[in-house]
A and B are shown apart, each in its own frame.
Chain A
Amino acid sequence: MIQRTRVLVAATAALALGLTAACGGGKDDSSSGSSAKAEFNAALDKVFNPSEKKGGTIRLANSGDWDTLDPGETYYGYSWDFLRLYGRSLLTFKASPGAAGNELTPDLAEGLGETNDNGKTWTYKLRKGVKFEDGTEVKSADVKYAVLRSIDKATFPNGPAYFEQFLNLPAGYKGPYKSKGVNTDQAISTPDDSTIVFHLKQAFGGFDYMAALPQTVPVPQAKDTAAKYKEHVVSTGPYMFDQNNLGKNFSLKRNPNWSAETDPFRKALPDRFEVSLNVNADDIDNRLLSGDLDIDVVGTGVQPATLGRVVGDPTAKAGTDNPNQSRLWYTSIVGTVKPFDNIDCRKAVQYAADRTGYQTAYGGPLAGGDIASTVMPPTIPGYQKFDLYPAGPDNTGDVAKAKEALAACGQPNGFSTNIAYRAERPKEKATAESLQQSLARVGIKLTLKPFPQGDYFSQYAGNPPYVKANNLGLVLNGWGADWNDGFGYLSQIVDSRVIRETGGSSNASVRDPDVDKLLDAAVGNTDAKAREAQWGAIDKKVMEDAFILPGVYAKALLIRPKKLTNVYVNPAYNMYDYVALGVA
């Protein structure tokens, strides 16, 4: 009861503050509207509690360790969202709720990239007057150095590998630490201090998305300490590191050498950010609900124990938002395992699967997400709504169609196969059990095979020889976009060329040369709209091949911070936009 009363008081206070702020300064309301009413999804596509008030401290917590604070290596969405507080990449995503948040906007650069040769060379002009925290002006050479150092995979093995893949680097180039003195102008040239030109091996129409990667955040060579740089990243954003106790906590304070005049969108309202690491996940939820903490920085939603408390309490539910995650939970249907080499056997699985059961296994519509029928989630531009394998009016599967497909593949009485899932993930176990029941209706007998998640892709479900030898016909899988674009989402899960015989690939099943060709064609297209249509066509082709059984378009239930202003979900990160937040 006390908890309820406190929530009510906090909600009322937030309402009052929001109204005050809304009356006082309505500048924030321009983009996609604003809201001050604490209701479910109040910050989903509009700004909740808008305010221009400066000052205060925002308290965040992470249930794990930060992957790394080094912009050259970090590879988590929450980290890319947060990094904009202390680093400025060439481009970034608009700080805006709704669809606009998915659009690229210049940050360190003056404008979007320019290409004169259909996407093989990309030029960016840097803004004048942007400085590092020590007052030194940022030059194009600092951006070039930052990108090149990130290519050293012996030092930064966890970071994205897109620059390594696309840049026209000298043969055998290993980054500035190991390949000292090597001329790299054939990959990146800097004609002057404010111009940087990227030279690619092949045309890439969506290169602007790569220019928005944190790897383009400038790094001063004189201050670079390679793997140790994460201990003190030199800031170009409105905040710089105050304390940094690796694995425990860190804090940001204002960067005196950041100028709002050079920054088109950062308001820099709070004075400080304090981040605790390795905090108990259930404790984070309790503290968020009590107002003792502002943000669960990872942004993947509440724990199962909290879900029931929030959903069952209308007041608590009004303090939450339920964004899409640009992630699909799905099942790979492995064509190298018999009888799934026959497309009709794969289709039998598509028809027989209970989609509602899949959704329930993932926690239902709020914590799990929406029932999926495509590979691309609706948040990826180019998404087309279609369903090649309708599962009946109640989405529990079409048994008659499944039996037809089984007859067509020469297995009218069904067959036996194994289904792999990660042992540490109860939702995957529940999904495997649901599929076991629904496929049994047409005679497909599944044996559950749990594997440790640490080695799931490297040794078991993503290791082709192991998969074949152990008859793993179905593999539970999931994938989130590196960025909200067809390439950023599809390239690692439908391109057969990323499959490695030694294991480790997330593409556990899609092997279609036609899909590879379609991907190559889309990558080289500089027309964004036409490219989006191509991503949609690839999605359809993969579904026609029936290599992927879509399960759930993932959603997360986020607890909206009680004491913060300018709260909204940025769709590029699928979580609250950390750059916009202020303290009430």
Chain B
Amino acid sequence: MITYIIRRLLAAVVLLFIVSAAVFAIFYLVPRVVGATPETLATRYVGRAATPETVNLIAHKLGFYDPIWVQYGRWVKGIFLGSEYDYGSGTEHCPAPCFGYSFITRQPVWPDLLDRLPVTLSLAVGAALLWAFFGVSTGVISALRRGSLLDRAAMTVSLAGVSMPIFFTGLIGLLVFSYKLGWTASGGSYTPFTENPADWFYALLLPWIVLAFQFSAQYARLTRAGMLETLGEDYIRTARAKGLPESAVNVRHGLRAALTPLLTIFGLDFGLLLGGAVLTEQVFSLPGLGKYAVDAITNNDLPKVLGVTMMAALFVVVANLIVDLLYAVVDPRVRIS
């Protein structure tokens, strides 16, 4: 098992390296290939009345005149060894892991990422708990009462959940529950848990529900399908024939088997969410990684884009690793092999 974990960790490092090179190439190499010059790249980061001298100065300062591999090497070196930044009247050391400095705000990227992470983490964990509970339980009940009014109602609601995008349900939710009824917090009112847990909960309640609504719908439908398939298996009939109570048959033998594919999807979804719940954070003005990514892309702020992409990739890789390990818990066949 330890060898397996080490092997997976090494593979994860290689994967992250490939992702970093690919993303760097997309943002730094591709524009040069299609005709951008160091000056045209620098023009994005100067004022509208900048002189050619200013553009040249900034192109130098941002290292755009260096060959692309030198720029990439400098970025990678910063992650492992840190880097220096000239802020005008002095030089600031950015300790490892230094993901560079924002071209726009001229702040180091790494502290920004750490600062945004708790917001995204709060959103993702809360929503994941809600959707895992409601999604799976709705799916189980629907499967056990297949064809009933409850089943049809649950599946209709879940179809709606899958169909409606978050920027729609989120804005409608804000309009109705925040601005008309006053039950939930308005957008942009996030308070860190460490400052005020009650305000933190109040601010995240609606985003959790909206995000969980969409995911619950998917999970309900997947759980229902998985349960129906499992409940038709021979070993379920055997379990019933052996006289096991119905609850044990459904939970220990039915649900447990149906959970295996769900766990894979959950790992991917949760990992992606940790990289930034882009739409939810945008709609509710939550200062998390997703909002950070959108703002960075809008402003062409490449070091920020690279930083947040690497963090998202890291979460997906780690989440998948954890899911693979959890397989051993859920599925005894994995443990044996």
Give every chain A residue within 8 A of B41 (Cβ-Cβ).
458
- Closest Cβ neighbor of B41 among chain A residues: A458
Q: Digit string of B273-287 for contact with A (CB within 8 Å is 1, else 0)?
A: 000000000111101
Partner of A504, one of B40, B88, B174, B187: B40
Give every chain A residue within 8 A of B107 (Cβ-Cβ).
246-247
Query: Cβ of B229 < 8 Å from any Cβ of A?
Result: no
Query: Cβ of B171 < 8 Å from any Cβ of A?
Result: yes
Task: Given A247-B112, A280-B282, A280-B283, answer yes or no on A492-B175 (Cβ-Cβ < 8 Å).
Answer: no
Query: Cβ of A186 < 8 Å from any Cβ of B?
Result: no
Query: Cβ of B289 < 8 Å from any Cβ of A?
Result: no
Partner of B46, one of A157, A278, A287, A289: A157
Q: Do most interface residues of chain A lie in helix, strand or loop, or is the interface mixed? A: loop
Complex CA–CA separation, A276 to B291 (angstroms): 14
Do the beta carbons of A502 and B40 come within 8 Å of each other? yes
Complex CA–CA separation, A276 to B284 (angstroms): 13
B103 CB, nearest partner CB in chain A, Å? 10
Complex CA–CA separation, A259 to B61 (angstroms): 42
A390 CB, nearest partner CB in chain B, Å? 33
Do the beta carbons of B40 and A159 come within 8 Å of each other? no
Do the beta carbons of B112 and A292 come within 8 Å of each other? no
Q: How many A residues, CB 8 Å from partner? A: 55
Q: Total contacts A to B, CB within 8 angstroms?
A: 149
- Closest Cβ neighbor of A175 among chain B residues: B88
Complex CA–CA separation, A287 to B174 (angstroms): 10
Give every chain B residue within 8 A of A226 (Cβ-Cβ).
87-90
Complex CA–CA separation, A508 to B246 (angstroms): 77
A171 CB, nearest partner CB in chain B, Å? 13
Complex CA–CA separation, A485 to B285 (angstroms): 37
In the complex, identify which listed stretch (A35-43, A81-89, A147-155, A562-570) lies at the interface while the others stay far away.
A147-155
Complex CA–CA separation, A226 to B91 (angstroms): 11
Task: Given A75-B48, A228-B87, A279-B285, answer yes or no on A459-B187 (Cβ-Cβ < 8 Å).
Answer: no
Query: Cβ of B54 < 8 Å from any Cβ of A?
Result: yes
Interface size class of B (residues with CB under 8 A): 35 or more
Query: Cβ of B180 < 8 Å from any Cβ of A?
Result: yes
Do the beta carbons of B88 and A155 come within 8 Å of each other? yes
Do the beta carbons of B40 and A503 come within 8 Å of each other? yes
Query: Cβ of B300 < 8 Å from any Cβ of A?
Result: yes
Do the beta carbons of A503 and B48 come within 8 Å of each other? no
Query: Cβ of A527 < 8 Å from any Cβ of B?
Result: no
Give every chain B residue within 8 A of A278 (Cβ-Cβ).
285, 287, 291, 295
Do the beta carbons of B287 and A248 come within 8 Å of each other? yes
Do the beta carbons of B285 and A224 come within 8 Å of each other? no
In the complex, identify which listed stretch (B9-17, B31-39, B148-156, B251-259) lies at the interface while the others stay far away.
B31-39
B178 CB, nearest partner CB in chain A, Å? 8
Query: Cβ of B313 < 8 Å from any Cβ of A?
Result: no
A480 CB, nearest partner CB in chain B, Å? 10
Do the beta carbons of A276 and B285 come within 8 Å of each other? yes
- Closest Cβ neighbor of A176 among chain B residues: B89
Q: Digit string of B147-178 for contact with A (CB within 8 Å is 1, else 0)?
A: 00000000000000000000000010011001
Chosen A-B contacts, 26 in total, with CB atoms closer than 8 Å, are A2-B180, A61-B188, A153-B57, A153-B58, A155-B88, A157-B45, A158-B45, A161-B50, A226-B88, A226-B90, A227-B106, A246-B107, A276-B285, A278-B287, A280-B284, A283-B186, A283-B188, A289-B179, A454-B44, A455-B31, A455-B36, A500-B52, A502-B43, A503-B39, A503-B40, A504-B46
> What are the nearest 5 A-B pairs in CB distance?
A226-B88, A458-B43, A155-B88, A283-B187, A226-B89
Given contacts A226-B90, A292-B179, A458-B44, 4 further A-B contacts (CB under 8 A): A162-B49, A279-B188, A286-B186, A503-B40
